Copies of this chain bind each other. A is one copy, B any other.
Amino acid sequence: MATQDRLIESTQELLWERGYVGTSPKAIQQRAGVGQGSMYHHFDGKPDLAAAALRRSAEEMRAVAEERLAGPGTAYQRIEAYLLREREVLRGCRIGRMAQDPEVVADPRLRAPVEETFDWLRGRIAEVIAEGRAAGEFVPGADPADTAAAVVAVVQGGYVLARAADSVEPFRQAVRGALGLLAGLNAPAGA
């Protein structure tokens, strides 16, 4: 792997494990097996490298979500596939955890990939809900954008509850609860 890619990948891992504040340039260099000079040859410093790592994590997360949301099945089934996809729940969300980090939120360059990822995700799920409504699968009622925000929030909040409990169970409960509530949008059979 190219040095630049090794640096980005090591930073992605460290940000996920330790957060931004807890990740030092030295730890990145050690994980990547790259010297200080080489790191500063490729990147201006920790914020620059972290921004590149967050952009890559955001792209990866987006691709994984799109695979489920653009998959086969009804609107409900596509959202279900998104909610039930395999996740490393106890590690938390690589992107969402960054929003809790004061230094990330304070730096527009670091916050941008986090904000853009969630904007895209909420918009994409709102589209799926609107499609389900247009197809007569869902009853009209709840606003698609609001419902989509609730779906994304359940996943992000599920991670928080799971990490708090050191158990995946609260995440699974929250997802089952969301699916139960979303089932209420289904138009009655034969209606």
Query: What chain B residues lie within 8 Å of A101 (beta carbons)?
Result: 19, 100
Interface of A (DSSP majority class):
helix
A141 to chain B, nearest CB (A): 7
Chain A residues engaging chain B, CB cutoff 8 angstroms: 17-19, 21-22, 92-93, 95-102, 105, 111, 114-115, 117-119, 122, 141-143, 145-158, 160-161, 163-166, 170, 173-178, 180-185
Known: A19-B100, A146-B177, A181-B142. A111 touches B164 (CB 8 A): yes
Other-chain residue from B150, B156, B181, B184 in contact with A160 (beta carbon distance below 8 A): B156
CA distance A112 to B178 in the complex (A): 26
A-B contact pairs, 25 of them (CB 8 A): A96-B160, A97-B100, A99-B160, A105-B164, A111-B164, A142-B180, A142-B181, A146-B174, A147-B180, A149-B158, A149-B161, A149-B170, A150-B154, A150-B174, A150-B176, A150-B177, A152-B157, A153-B160, A153-B170, A156-B156, A156-B160, A157-B158, A178-B181, A181-B185, A184-B184
CA distance A114 to B180 in the complex (A): 26
Query: What chain B residues lie within 8 Å of A114 (beta carbons)?
Result: 164
Known: A147-B181, A149-B177. A118 touches B161 (CB 8 A): yes
CA distance A101 to B20 in the complex (A): 11
Asked if B22 contacts A163 (CB within 8 A), the reply is no
Known: A101-B19, A160-B156, A184-B185. A150 touches B178 (CB 8 A): yes
Asked if A170 contacts B96 (CB within 8 A), the reply is no
A169 to chain B, nearest CB (A): 9
A15 to chain B, nearest CB (A): 11
Query: What chain B residues lie within 8 Å of A117 (beta carbons)?
Result: 164
Asked if A174 contacts B149 (CB within 8 A), the reply is yes
Asked if B164 contacts A151 (CB within 8 A), the reply is no
A101 to chain B, nearest CB (A): 7
